[in-house]
Amino acid sequence: MTAASVQLLRHATLLVRIGGIEFLVDPMLAEPGEMPPIPNSPNDRRNPLVPLPDVEIDPDAVVVTHTHRDHLDDAARERLAADVPLYCQPPDEFEIETDFDDVRPVDDRATFVGVELVRTGGRHGHDDLADSMGPVSGFVFRAADEPSIFVAGDTVWCPELESALDEHEPDVVVLNAGGARFVEGEPITMTDEDVRRVRERVPDATVVAVHMDAINHCLLSREELANAVEGVLIPADGERVELD
């Protein structure tokens, strides 16, 4: 059996390998510049800002934390097989069903070929802005004799995230950093301070930060995060983090 790993493709798009199964998480597969800028942002660069690495994408299943276009884009809807098993949060089921035939909403938990998926909550920003951004989820992946992997999704530091960390005690935590924000309001994904809080909350876990340097409204770069927070893995696009 292949060892568990997390491979960053770009932004929030991951290949999570656990229990001999490969999950594609939050597929954004567009070519650079194919999507317009996220509006009301401090710059107007077209997205994605960078290309996908040359990595084979043929997953056993797909997991979508929410349906914002930088987590499930038109290119992914066209490129992925319509019959691939796709796990999502319940509010997104019917919208995703317009392009996929085997959509499996997760209320609490589900199992795919021996891998358990547990859905967690989060807050995509602060106060009223978080409400307007809509619901988001994270997923914990568990398999026998493998490290547990928690993909937190698009969330800031919030009670829902704290509860998930305390309840599930994951061995690996993948955080969507980048400090994404609009011209007005607070960030809607993790800042360096949010990442630091997670690092301190789970001192024995491997913390991996992604979701940077690929979309126009993500203003916190890899370099800035590395300079601000110690003890966090920050993979390059295409890089795989092998898990013991």
CATH for 16: 3.60.15.10
- Distances from the Cα of 146 to the Cαs of 25, 101, 111, in angstroms? 19, 30, 15
* For residues 107-113, average pLDDT: 98
pLDDT tens for each residue of 230-243: 999 999 999 999 99
> What pTM, to 2 d.p., does this model score?
0.97
Convert the pLDDT of each residue in 158-177 to its tens digit.
999 999 999 999 999 999 99
Residue 208, sorted as left (phi over 0), alpha (psi -120 to 50) or beta, turns out to be: beta
pLDDT value at position 1? 57
Q: What is the pLDDT of residue 148?
A: 98
Model confidence band, residue 29 (pLDDT cutoffs 50, 70, 90): very high
Mean pLDDT of the chain: 97
| Residue 46: both structure tokens together | 């077209």
- Among 106-110, 127-131, 169-173, whose mean pLDDT is lowest? 127-131
Residue 61 in this model has a pLDDT that exceeds 90:
yes
What is the extent of the structural domain holding 217? 5-242
Confidence of residue 244 (pLDDT cuts 50, 70, 90): confident
Separation CA 149–CA 156 (nearest Å): 18
Q: Which residues of 177-208 are buried (b: 16+ CB within 10 A; e: fewer)?
A: bbbbbbeeeebbbbbbebbbbbbeebeebbbb
Domain count, the chain: 1
Ordered DSSP codes for 113-182? TTEEEEEE---SSSHHHHHHH----EEEEE-TTS--EEE--S--S-HHHHHHHHHH--SEEEEE-S----
| pLDDT tens-digit series, residues 176-216 | 999 999 999 999 999 999 999 999 999 999 999 999 999 99
* Residues ≥6 apart with Cβ < 8 Å to 212: 11, 177, 178, 218, 220, 221, 222, 225, 234
